[in-house]
Amino acid sequence: MPETITSATEPDWSREEVRRFWEPGKKMIRAMRRYQVAQDRGGMIGWIASKFWVLNHLAWSTICQSELHLTTQVAGGLRLTHPTGIIIHPDCKIGPNCMIFHQVTLAGPVVVGGHVDIGAGAKILGPLTVGDHVVIGANAVVTKDVPSGATVAGIPARVISMNPS
């Protein structure tokens, strides 16, 4: 049964819920989000909490061997299905309900739209923008903007199909 496409602006927060102990990707995202909340809170309690979440994030980042910077702008619903070796530049902006597989690199100020699936080993070399509802194939090397609804693959990545919706 095909997944229903929802608005690119409405995050599905249930995708980030930690349900078991061993969910390193979700725990790394949670640490990033809680750090950002603590920073916004300010004061002594915010400062202490932010230090705790920095250490928590460091632990899960080390386990995953991934870099998801604490200050990266990430909308809700991010899924790191296999969170090993994911490198995301601190100036990236990631839209809601995206899914990033292992060994993905987002280099430079990349803007990723909503509902984007990035296949294993893909490299996105910014600055560039990826539209909403895009699928980036495994091991693709994206060097140019990608329009909404496109499926891209190859080295360098080329549009191989367009979603009619």
Range 5-32 average pLDDT: 86
Judged against a pLDDT cut of 60, whether residue 5 lies above it is answered with no
- Alpha carbon of residue 124 to chain centroid: 12
Buried b (16+ CB within 10 A) or exposed e, 132-158: bbbbbbeebbbeeebebbbbbbeeebe
Question: pLDDT for 27-61, tens place per residue?
Answer: 999 999 999 999 999 899 999 999 999 999 999 99
| Burial grade of 46 (CB within 10 A; 0-12, 13-18, 19 or more) | middle
Domains (range + CATH), the chain: 14-162 (2.160.10.10)
Q: What is the pLDDT of residues 69-126, one digit of tens each?
A: 999 999 999 999 899 999 999 999 999 999 999 999 999 999 999 999 999 999 999 8
Which H or E run includes 56?
helix 43-64
Cis-peptide, bond into residue 156, ω within 30° of zero? yes
Exposed / middle / buried, residue 1 (Cβ in 10 Å: 0-12, 13-18, 19+) = exposed
pLDDT bin (cut points 50, 70, 90) of residue 8 is: low
Closest by Cα among 89, 81, 92, 95 to 28: 81
Mean pLDDT on 127-138: 96
The answer to whether residues 26 and 81 touch, using CB atoms and an 8 Å cutoff, is no
Is the Cα dihedral 21, 100, 163, 127 positive or negative? positive
Q: How confident is the model at residue 20 (pLDDT cuts 50, 70, 90)?
A: very high
**Local confidence band at 4 (pLDDT 50, 70, 90 cut-offs):** very low
